[in-house]
């Protein structure tokens, strides 16, 4: 599988979540599928060993960008929920 396809899957998972309609509470509870978690865990472990190909390194970097955006969205959702309660 190419990096583009794997990275697209990571993006797709969160985009599909948003497209289905979200609420601040659901954003705070978003989690990746088990398959994606396993894929990322594998990349992280292999990165620690210095055992990633350039395309896998790129895939991991792309995931980190997506993960950062998700964490920001979760933080904002938590802030919103606190402000309305």
Mind listing the pLDDT tens digit for each residue in 6-59?
Answer: 666 777 888 899 999 999 999 999 999 998 899 899 999 999 999 999 999 998
Structural domains in the chain (count):
1
| pLDDT on residue 10 | 75
Tokens describing residue 70: 């998700």
Q: 13 Cβ partners below 8 Å, 6+ apart?
A: 32, 33, 36
Query: Is the Cβ–Cβ distance between 47 and 60 less than 8 Å?
Result: yes
- Residue 24 has phi, psi (to 5 degrees) of -55, -40
Query: Is the Cβ–Cβ distance between 44 and 57 less than 8 Å?
Result: no
Full domain range(s) for residue 22: 3-84
């Amino acid at each position: 599988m190419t990096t583009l396809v794997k990275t697209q899957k990571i993006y797709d998972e969160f985009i599909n979540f948003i497209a289905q309609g979200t609420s601040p509470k659901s954003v705070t509870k978003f989690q990746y599928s088990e398959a994606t978690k396993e894929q990322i865990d594998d990349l992280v472990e292999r990165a620690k060993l210095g055992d990633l190909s350039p395309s896998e390194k790129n895939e991991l970097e792309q995931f980190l960008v997506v993960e950062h955006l998700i964490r920001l969205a979760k933080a904002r959702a938590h802030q919103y929920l606190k402000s309305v309660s």
